Amino acid sequence: MFARIAGVGSYLPGPPLSNDDLKQRGVETNDEWIVSRTGIKTRHLADANCTSSDLALEASRKALLAAGIDASELDLIIVATSTPDFIFPSTACLLQAKLGNNSAMAFDVQAVCSGFVYALNIAEKFIRCGSHKKVLVVGAEVFSRILDWDDRATCVLFGDGAGAVILEASGKPGILASAAHADGAYHGILSVPGNVCGGKVIGDPFLRMDGQAVFKFAVRVLADVAHECCALAGILPTGIDWLIPHQANIRIIESTAKRVGVEMNKVIVTVDRHGNTSAASIPLALDAAIRDGRVQRGQKVLLEGVGGGFTWGAVLLEF
């Protein structure tokens, strides 16, 4: 029994906002700095009344349509997000209600930018053990809500969006191998170190990051976990048709591809269009590559993510 992708969808809110648009909004930056350091050209920001579950709903509807199944058939809904609508109920439950499904198991996964590969990894285990057959896995984020717009070193990097995948129990190959890790000792290099207590925000409610430490950590673990996942499936990285890494920064993506031994013409890059959308970035890139015809049925695709925690993981699948 395999967990096989039956359909994929994604959604970006509103019109794209360019680097020059950010400058015009008062951020002390410029297009040359952002493009040369990160590869980001545009990002999308959700309106104030639009939540992660709203973005998740749009992406999920497209994934359900692509899979040809009705929301009522889903028996498990997992949403990877670090920007949930509420403290509780979970964004997965809110999404479930919006989809009109009233019986699936539904929960959130909080692994920041690795959230989507963590969620796929979990979903695959539910399918393989035979308890669940049609699973919706979503990465949805409104990171614009946790950005300090006076911190130019972070606010230019992130955007909002969602991506969704329907996984189905199948006799045909799907997920071939997965690996996931965390090392909480590195919690301080990327965090939103605040919480709500007694009706007040305690600590700092904005994203804080040691960019250079994150850069070095990300390249090392993304390369390691790609090799680990390929070894688990018994293939060499050269046997991958497509590498779809977390879309945070083109320089991290290029350095990782080099260490893994995959040519850049086999790497899907969409970070230029939407910036770092955390848990949404991998399904956004996967959906773009399926819809433009690059990723084809039968091909081997390696998805990998890294994010706050620190967390990291990879999923190798035959599409």
Backbone angles phi, psi at 312, to 5 degrees: -160, 160
Contact by Cβ (8 Å): 52, 140: yes
Contact by Cβ (8 Å): 306, 217: yes
150 half-sphere exposure, CB direction, 13 A CA radius: 1
Instruction: Please identify, using beta-carbon distances, which residue of 63 and 190 lies nearer to ligand UT7.
Output: 190
Question: What is the Cα–Cα distance from 90 to 108, expressed in whole angstroms?
Answer: 6
Looking at residue 254, the DSSP 8-state letter turns out to be H
Which of 44, 132, 246, 274 is an active site residue?
Answer: 246
Tell me the torsion sign for CA atoms 218, 220, 225, 230: positive
CB of 43 to ligand UT7, least distance (A): 13
Which of 113, 155, 229, 230 is an active site residue?
Answer: 113
CB of 268 to ligand UT7, least distance (A): 16
Task: Clarify whether 276 is annotated catalytic.
Answer: yes
Give the three-state DSSP class for 161: strand
CB of 137 to ligand UT7, least distance (A): 19
Looking at residue 167, the DSSP 8-state letter turns out to be E
Site residues (CB under 6 A) for ligand UT7? 29, 33-34, 37-38, 113, 152-153, 156, 209, 211-212, 214-215, 218, 248-249, 252, 276, 307
Instruction: Please identify, using beta-carbon distances, which residue of 49 and 212 lies nearer to ligand UT7.
Output: 212
CB of 221 to ligand UT7, least distance (A): 11
Instruction: Please identify, using beta-carbon distances, which residue of 29 and 299 lies nearer to ligand UT7.
Output: 29
Which of 19, 121, 249, 276 is an active site residue?
Answer: 276
Instruction: Please identify, using beta-carbon distances, which residue of 216 and 266 lies nearer to ligand UT7.
Output: 216
Go through 159-185 and write b for each residue having 16 or more CB atoms within 10 A of its CB, e for each that does not.
bbbbbbbbbbbeeeebbbbbbbbbeee
CB of 12 to ligand UT7, least distance (A): 18
> Taking CB positions, which residue lies at the least distance from ligand UT7?
211
Instruction: Please identify, using beta-carbon distances, which residue of 115 and 237 lies nearer to ligand UT7.
Output: 115
Contact by Cβ (8 Å): 163, 286: yes
* Residues 6 or more apart whose Cβ sits within 8 Å of residue 306: 113, 114, 217, 218, 221, 222, 246, 248, 312
Among all residues, which ones are annotated catalytic?
113, 246, 276
